[in-house]
């Protein structure tokens, strides 16, 4: 085996901007059993996230579409488990907030319902059930359904910061279907808020703070400018939201949505949430057409009331079981090395997704 190395680090000479798209290629040669053991060169690309400087590995597999999965069969396996978020159970089995915090014990808006999570992942931890429908395939989500969910989650967070001034960090999160870690099929968000950030949320906040200190500009503003100028990962804009493929991917499909000039989820207008919901619907159409069935989503907020140059942003990473035995797509890399693997070049992904925006 021969190991070669090429360094493709980008220099920012002459650029009045701190965004750096750094990457490195490493190659090795193997003898390929599928080609009578002739030599074959394999390439690994390592990319540094331009904000957090964390590395991600990109194996640009020559696959356009993933194989179809029989989702009816897959979801049918959970058929006998009673769903806690279908209407009957929701009324009888789900916890409620105390009356001094939220009158009536829960927030209800149309079919959307916000109530406490049984498991306390943060000081405030709520579930937002989006609809009375037990399973909504990606192709059936509507802008209205998502908007109602996000705006009700936002009302909850507004109440949290109103009653508890120690809460400085919060986010809205979504594990869609069990492949992404979702333990209930029924569509629901998890809202978390408390005194401590998660690791990645803190990296975003600190990274943005450091960038502002050094370059006197908002990192997210500069990222949008740079990505638009390069045109390689800029998917498009929907109103006040800008959609990009992530330079250092954390999964099969990894996309970002950035809300211009918004520091906190609390600050988002109804129109911002409608823009985001519509952008998600466009992304879902791509996921559906390219056989991505499941995803993780987080909507990150900056540290509340700190006056940072943080811009609210979302990250959506698709998840799936790996053939042929249905293995998890999270392995020792993610669990024990804090390293992520992407299987498609973000620039190729952007080309595919652009037609949907
Ligand atoms: Zn249900």
Q: What is the pLDDT of residues 65-103, one digit of tens each?
A: 888 888 888 888 776 788 999 988 998 999 999 999 999
Q: CATH top-level class for 1-357?
A: alpha beta
What would the mean pLDDT of 31-48 be, rounded to a whole number?
Answer: 96
| Residues 237, 244: Cα–Cα separation, whole Å | 9
Q: Residue 75 has which token pair?
A: 């979801």
What is the whole-number distance in angstroms between the Cα of residue 166 and the centre of ligand 1?
Answer: 34
Between the CA of residue 327 and those of 188, 319, 320, 323, what are the distances in Å?
A: 25, 11, 9, 7
Q: Residue 326 corresponds to which tokens in the numbers above?
A: 């249905």
Ligand 1 geometric centre to CA of 28 (Å): 49
Residue 50 in 3-state DSSP? coil
What does the pLDDT read at residue 16?
A: 64
pTM: 0.94
- Percentage of the chain lying above the pLDDT 90 cut: 84
Determine the distance from the C-alpha atom of residue 48 to the mean position of all C-alpha atoms in its chain, rounded to a whole number: 18
Mean residue pLDDT of the chain comes to 93
Residue 10 pLDDT class (50, 70, 90 cuts): very low
Give me 8's structure tokens: 């493709």
The number of helix segments (H) and strand segments (E) in the chain equals 8, 15
Going from the Cα of 82 to the center of ligand 1, the distance in angstroms, rounded, reads 8
Note the pLDDT of residue 11: 44
The Å distance, Cα 92 to ligand 1 centre, comes to: 13
For the record, the structure tokens of 223 come out as 């990222």
Q: Taking 60 as the threshold, does the pLDDT of residue 63 lie above it?
A: yes
- How far, in Å, is the centroid of ligand 1 from the Cα of 90? 9
In the chain, domain spans: 1-357
- Cα 133 to middle of ligand 1, angstroms: 7
pLDDT at 33: 96
Does residue 325 register a pLDDT over 90? no
Q: Find the 276 Cα to ligand 1 centroid distance in Å.
A: 25
Tokens coding 131: 């609809």
Q: How far is the CA of 95 from the centre of ligand 1 (A)?
A: 16
Q: How far apart are CA 318 and CA 252, in angstroms?
A: 6
Asked if residues 189 and 211 have their Cβ atoms less than 8 Å apart, the reply is no
Taking the centre of ligand 1 as the mean of its atom positions, its distance from the CA of residue 174, in whole angstroms, is 16
Higher pLDDT pick, 132 / 61: 132
Inter-residue contact 19 to 50 (CB < 8 Å): yes
Strands 340-342 and 55-58: parallel
């Amino acid at each position: 085996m021969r190991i070669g190395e090429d360094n493709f680090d980008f220099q920012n000479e002459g650029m009045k901007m701190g965004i750096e798209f750094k990457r490195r290629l490493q190659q090795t040669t193997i003898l390929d059993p599928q080609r009578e053991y002739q030599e074959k060169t394999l390439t690994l690309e390592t990319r540094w996230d331009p904000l957090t400087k964390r590395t991600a590995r990109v194996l640009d597999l020559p696959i356009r579409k993933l194989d179809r999965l029989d989702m009816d069969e897959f979801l049918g396996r959970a058929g006998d488990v009673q769903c806690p978020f279908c209407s009957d159970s929701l009324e009888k089995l789900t916890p409620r907030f105390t009356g001094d915090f939220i009158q009536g014990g829960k927030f209800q808006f149309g079919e959307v319902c916000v109530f406490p999570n049984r498991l306390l992942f943060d000081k405030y931890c709520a579930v937002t059930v989006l609809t009375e429908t037990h399973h909504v395939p990606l192709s059936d989500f509507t802008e209205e359904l998502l908007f109602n969910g996000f705006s009700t989650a936002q009302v909850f967070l507004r109440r949290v910061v109103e009653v508890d001034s120690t809460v400085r960090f919060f986010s809205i999160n979504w594990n869609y279907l069990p492949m992404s870690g979702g333990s209930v099929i029924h569509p629901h968000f998890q809202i978390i808020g408390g005194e401590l950030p998660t690791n990645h949320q803190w990296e975003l906040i600190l990274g943005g703070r450091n960038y502002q200190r050094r370059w006197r500009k908002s990192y997210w503003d500069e990222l949008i400018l740079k990505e638009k100028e390069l045109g390689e990962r800029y998917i498009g804009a929907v109103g006040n939201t800008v959609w990009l493929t992530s330079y250092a991917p954390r999964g099969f499909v990894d996309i970002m949505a950035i809300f211009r000039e918004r520091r906190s989820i609390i600050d988002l207008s109804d129109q911002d949430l409608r823009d985001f919901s519509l952008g998600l619907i466009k992304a879902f159409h791509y996921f559906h057409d390219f056989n991505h069935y499941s995803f993780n989503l987080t909507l990150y907020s900056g540290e509340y009331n700190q006056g940072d140059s943080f811009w609210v942003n979302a990250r959506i990473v698709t998840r799936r079981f790996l053939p042929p035995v249905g293995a998890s797509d999270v392995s020792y890399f993610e669990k024990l090395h804090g390293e992520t693997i992407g299987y498609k070049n973000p620039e190729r992904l952007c080309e595919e997704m652009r037609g949907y925006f």
